Amino acid sequence: MNLDMDELIKYFIALGAVIFFLILGIFLRTVVFGRLKKWAERTTWKVDDLIVDLLGAPIILWTLLAGLYIGIPTLNPPEEIALMVDKVLISVLIISFTIVAAKFAAGMVRLLGERVETGTQVTGLTRNIAAIAVCTVGFLVLINTLGISITPLITTLGIGGLAVALALQDTLSNLFSGFHITLAKQVRVGDYVKLETGEEGYVVDITWRTTKIRMLPNNVVLIPNAKLAQAIITNYCLPEKEMAVLVQVGVHYESDLKKVERLTCEVAREVMKEVNGGVQTFNPFIRYHTFDDSSINFTVILRAKEFVDKYLVKHEFIKRLHERFNKEGIVIPYPIRAINYDQEKPTK
């Protein structure tokens, strides 16, 4: 009877340890990390939010593993079973910790990219590479913990890697092209680009296979990285986002060109100062360039903060200039063709 009671006590101790650490994990998750999360939300430092979110998710699992690790030895299991249980518990701990560390690495890369605009471009590709690097280290630690020799595994992976590389030529081409695009910084996330095939829009992300471009109609174009690396691209954000906006205008031959220039520049300056997207410090100017069939043509040079701003800048300028010319009696002529009837008469 004493043996049965002793065994029962051992089971109660083991079960009590598991339940205690499980309750501890629930307490830490709901109370401690709940308060830590509210505190982190009040700070401007985003790293603490990342740490609290990542540690709050697996804390119950980790405390449960601690309870099992402490409680199971009290049952005095056979040595083989004890070793197997230890390896399982340690393996689960390593896997869970690796997942958390990989998410932390990817999150830190993202936060670093948000803080340092001049640094390496932070894309889906760079975040995935950071996570993969951490997972690789975690995998090596796991197999070493399980007593598996790494050397034969590396040899096998080397031989198998050659076959995989031959089978995945297109995929690897897109992967390394994505690295080239990211490191070269000629196409960056957030840039407005236009391809030689006509597609244009904002670069949303550069992944391991494709580059995502969101067009102005809010459609997404997926372009393989290998093709993008070989394409002729116009990047409207390099060397800077500000860009010249050219508007073509024509006035009647009888117009006072000095007055036309003065009025046009006045309207252009108003647009630069009052319209969202105009560069307020820029001083617009015009250049006459053509004696056309029905008008003297000139180009108005404005400036917009970025590519899409040019549409509103042009819209407001044309509308205001047309209104001002009407008030001042300056004529924007329709296309005119004069026929010389005398020249067309047949000679006698």
Question: 243-328 in CATH: which number?
Answer: 3.30.70.100
CA distance 47 to 55: 12
Smallest CA-to-CA distance from 95 within 158, 133, 143 is with: 143
* Residue 246 binned pLDDT confidence (cut-offs 50, 70, 90): very high
What mean pLDDT comes out for the span 141-145?
Answer: 76
* Residue 1 binned pLDDT confidence (cut-offs 50, 70, 90): very low
CA distance 189 to 211: 9
CATH 3.30.300.130 is the classification of domain 175-235: no
pLDDT in tens, 42-94: 877 777 778 888 888 888 888 888 888 888 887 777 878 878 888 888 888 88
Q: Which residue has the higher pLDDT, 171 or 289?
A: 289
| Mean predicted lDDT score pLDDT of the chain | 82
The per-residue pLDDT for 290 is 93
Q: Which residue has the higher pLDDT, 84 or 117?
A: 84
pLDDT in tens, 294-335: 899 999 999 999 998 999 999 999 999 999 999 999 998 887
The structural domains of the chain, with segments of one domain joined by +, span 2-166, 175-235, 243-328
Q: 298 in helix, strand or coil?
A: strand
Q: Do the beta carbons of residue 330 and residue 260 sit within 8 Å?
A: yes
What mean pLDDT comes out for the span 220-243?
Answer: 89
CA distance 82 to 74: 11
- What is the per-residue DSSP string for 135-191? HHHHHHHHHHHTT--HHHHHHHHHHHHHHHHHHTHHHHHHHHHHHHHHHH-SS-TT-
- The reply to whether 243-328 shares the fold of 175-235 is no
